[in-house]
Structures are given as C-alpha cells and as structure tokens.
Amino acid sequence: MVSAAYLRNMGRSNGGSGFRAMEYAFTEVDGQDGILLSGRFTYDDSRKFHEMLALWDFAAKPDVPLDLRYLTFLDSTAIGMLFVLANRCRERQGSVTVVNAQPYIVQTMRRVSLDQYVFIR
C-alpha cells in the first residue's frame, strides 16, 4: 500500500516542463492488489510501463484492477500499451478493470474500443 504523502507527490512536474510524466504504484485498488497510474501516459513512458509489467506476477494475479484517478492524458501509444496489458491478463484467463478514470479518459478508451478488452467502472 502506498502512503498518502506518496500519492500527493505522484505526477508532480518533472524538470520544470509543466507536464507530469506517467508514474505508477502497486497499491490496493477496490480491496485487492492493483496498479495506480498518474500523470500523462505517452510514448515516452513505454519503457517504464514495460518495466511495470515485468514486475507484476500475472501467474499469481491475472486480474489487474487499474486505478486511473490521477491519469490526465493518454496518447495512442499508451492506448496500445493498455491493449498489451489486457492481452497479458487474457493469456492467464484474467482481466483488467479500470476504475476512477476521468470522463474524458473513459471517452477516449471507448472511442478506440478498449472497453471491448477491459472493464470500465
């Protein structure tokens, strides 16, 4: 579980650019182990996202609750990475459940039919 101080500091400006790079934390989401994403999720975060996937034990936890309450933006590469996450879960008979996403993030996910691969609550 992550601390409240960590959550407050997640996604703060990097390098004075005013843009917040994607950050992640393994934390409790809806009562089970999950992932919290924050900031802007873009092509530049590909390596970090794949490192995160490598740390998640899909064999033991094929269901991934994904809390997007602090996610402010996602580009087409980020959408592709979410498809990768959904496919990893499906390979293990699991699923991804997105919770707490901002309405404009949900709208984007639906426009690209990501809601056919992940549950959105």
Q: Domains along the chain?
A: 4-13+20-120 (3.30.750.24)
4-33 average pLDDT score: 70
Tell me what pLDDT residue 32 has: 94
Burial 68-89 (b: 16+ CB within 10 A, else e): bebbbbbeeebbebbbebbebb
Confidence of residue 1 (pLDDT cuts 50, 70, 90): low
Tell me what pLDDT residue 5 has: 46
Rounded Cα distance between 53 and 38, Å, is 16
Q: What is the pLDDT of residues 37-86, one digit of tens each?
A: 999 999 999 999 999 999 999 999 999 999 999 999 999 999 999 999 99
Find out whether 85 and 63 touch, Cβ atoms under 8 Å. Answer: no
Tell me what pLDDT residue 20 has: 84
Burial 27-47 (b: 16+ CB within 10 A, else e): bebeeebbbbbbbbbbeebee
Note the helical H segments in 18-63: 46-55
